[in-house]
Amino acid sequence: MVRIYDTRTRQVEEIAAGRAVRMYTCGPTVYRHAHVGNLRTYLLSDLIRRVLELRRVRVLVCQNITDVGHLADDADEGEDKVLAQARAEGRSVSELARFYEDAFRRDTGALGLRPPEHMPRASEHIDLMIELIAKLIEKGHAYAVPDGSVFFDVRTFPTYGEISGIRLDALKPAHRIDAVDPRKRFHADWALWKPATGELSWDAPSGRGFPGWHVECSAMSLRYLGSRFEIHTGGIDLRFPHHEDERAQSDAAAGHEVVRHWVHGEHLLFDGRKMAKATGNVVLLSDVVEAGLDPLALRLAFMEHRYRQQLNLTWETLRAADRTLRRWRSRVAEWSESVSAPMPRDHVARVEAAIEDDLDTPSALRALRELERDESVAPGAKLEAFLHLDQVLALDLPSEIGKARVLPPGAGELLEARARAREAEDWAASDRLRDELAEMGVRVGDTPEGQTWA
């Protein structure tokens, strides 16, 4: 069975997979490009999906698009991020949201992420949120105030804090005591509906306004996946308050635990620093491509570390992943010219067992490298194994099959240098250059007529 670490129970648990598994992933707020740290989070749900599908389990995925309600600093007060950025770029809210939504879809496609079955936009599901808010008020879990705001009454949900470990009795009022919102019954209550007029506002029973960020995910997950579903994923930063608030809303409305497993991916650093616009340390997928690297090299670099470990990504890490990716594609193309043979079950079983054990992709990749080097396994068997496992890895390993071999940049110069080294009988330099070429995905052989490459 596939096992995954459940943030709420704090242990690795089996995913009870019947014929189908339903999974919700918190999607992007479409006011800017997704950086590579964001994209690592979305790889998490893609890997879960692919490993389950390898076991012939149907996976139904819903991933929302937040185009309203997400305020600056993830707070209850302030300006909507989409609205603020639209004004800064001189676009309408709709134009800005669609531009960055399309960019997000292109980036996730280039990273080999399967598109979800449902990708609802928050702005197109306001009616669902209004209905959910009305239900919470009716059940005594929410209350309206005179200015048209509606708040969730967190003290009506006794198990609040089980995901993050932050308990209600430990929560203190934010910043200063006089900053506590006098409209709230309790300082930790949060807004389900906020009064507003203008481009991002809708009519509701409590008055014109817009929904809170947290209620959006509750409404859309309940609508598209039902009142019980197996997996909810997101970045580790969403545990509190977003996922705590979402769980409280959904469970209070449904009357039972809605999500079976909460799964979170860890932060990504780049060159040892957290990604932030203020420090100029934001790296986009387009930056990776402009550096001459395959976008799937980023996917491979992510998989070199476990999803719930903090990852310090560097340009050298990405270049190394790119070399490995090109080498594997070259080897697969080479093996495809041999007679097919049954997969080496021991090697394949080790890779699959690692991936199924809480997505231990580093161990899986180590086992795959051992298979690549194992000279006792026939080339045709290696081909079948790599193609089979690429259903989960999604590195497009067959892409070079049938193509005319083209040397990667710089390989021609290394081949010429190696030929000169062999003429001078400098065998140490010859071996070193051969190893460098192998890292670039170029295999060099020696014949009486001279060196060959493939």
Handedness of CA 374, 378, 381, 387 (dihedral sign): positive
Annotation-wise, does 277 bind a ligand? yes
CA–CA separation, 359 and 344 (whole Å) = 21
The answer to whether 147 touches 158, Cβ cutoff 8 Å, is no
Q: How many CB atoms lie within 10 A of CB 27?
A: 25
DSSP secondary structure letter of residue 357: B
Render the burial of 114-141: b for 16+ CB within 10 Å, e for the rest.
Answer: eebebbbbbbebbebbbebbeebbeeeb
CA–CA separation, 177 and 438 (whole Å) = 64
Measured torsion, CA atoms of residues 218, 220, 223, 226, in degrees rounded to the nearest 10:
-50
DSSP H helical segments within 336-454, as ranges? 345-356, 361-373, 379-393, 411-423, 427-439
Measured torsion, CA atoms of residues 371, 372, 378, 381, in degrees rounded to the nearest 10:
70
What is the Cα 403 distance to its own chain's centre?
31
Annotation-wise, does 246 bind a ligand? yes
Render the burial of 197-220: b for 16+ CB within 10 Å, e for the rest.
Answer: eeebbbebebbebbbbbbbbbbbb
Beta-sheet strands, E only, within 67-208: 142-144, 150-152, 190-195
The encoded tokens of residue 28 equal: 């992007």
Q: Which residues pair with 35 in a beta bridge?
A: 284
Annotation-wise, does 62 bind a ligand? no
Does 241 sit behind a cis peptide bond, omega within 30 degrees of 0 on the bond before it?
Answer: yes
- How far are the Cα atoms of 72, 406, 436 from residue 410, in angstroms, in the given order? 47, 12, 11
The answer to whether 265 touches 307, Cβ cutoff 8 Å, is yes
CA–CA separation, 78 and 191 (whole Å) = 12
Q: Residue 192: is it exposed, middle or buried by C-beta count within 10 angstroms (0-12/13-18/19+)?
A: buried
Annotation-wise, does 217 bind a ligand? yes
Beta-sheet strands, E only, within 236-293: 259-265, 268-270, 273-274
The annotation places the binding site for ATP at: 277
The annotation places the binding site for Zn(2+) at: 26, 217, 242, 246
The annotation places the binding site at: 26, 217, 242, 246, 277
